[in-house]
Amino acid sequence: MIKCIRCGKENDDKNEVCSNCGYSFKEQKVEEAYRKLLKEDPVVPDEEKSGLIDSPILTFIFGILSMILPIFVFSFLAWYNYKKPSKVKLEPFRNVGNIFAYIGAAISIFLLVYIVWGLIAPK
Ligand SMILES: [Zn+2]
């Protein structure tokens, strides 16, 4: 028995078209093969959902934080190292921590601009 996907009527295997609505079973086979190819999003029950991945608001907030946080961290480190008297007496190495913090801040600002520009730049 073949069940017609258009009207739901059970038909004999020999039939080429549905006896009720005339739908072609040749077409139906193509349709079913096509539907198998299309992968639908899996339906995930609420209790199995991970809070971060399935919540667009949380994802947005964490995405923004992950871009802005490094700037604050490295800016703070630069400021903190600048204020703190260095224990290193050797002149060229005194500001190594400071220089690394500035480089980190510069890289994080560059990455932020690069990512935001990638999002808003016209194609
Ligand atoms: Zn039918």
From ligand 1's centre to the CA of 10, what distance in Å?
8
From ligand 1's centre to the CA of 19, what distance in Å?
7
Report how far residue 87's alpha carbon sits from residue 94's, in angstroms, rounded to the nearest whole number.
8
Examine the domain organization and report whether 33 and 50 are in the same domain: no
From ligand 1's centre to the CA of 56, what distance in Å?
42
pLDDT level of residue 68 (50, 70, 90 thresholds): confident
pLDDT level of residue 21 (50, 70, 90 thresholds): very high
Q: Which pLDDT does position 18 carry in this prediction?
A: 92
Q: Across residues 14-34, what is the average pLDDT?
A: 89
Examine the domain organization and report whether 12 and 64 are in the same domain: no
Examine the domain organization and report whether 55 and 98 are in the same domain: yes
- Are the C-beta atoms of residues 7 and 18 closer than 8 Å to each other? yes
From ligand 1's centre to the CA of 3, what distance in Å?
8
From ligand 1's centre to the CA of 109, what distance in Å?
62
Q: What is the pLDDT of residues 85-96, one digit of tens each?
A: 767 677 666 677
- Say what the pTM is: 0.38
- Are the C-beta atoms of residues 15 and 27 closer than 8 Å to each other? no
Looking at the 3D structure of the chain, how many domains does it have? Answer: 2
Q: Across residues 95-105, what is the average pLDDT?
A: 81
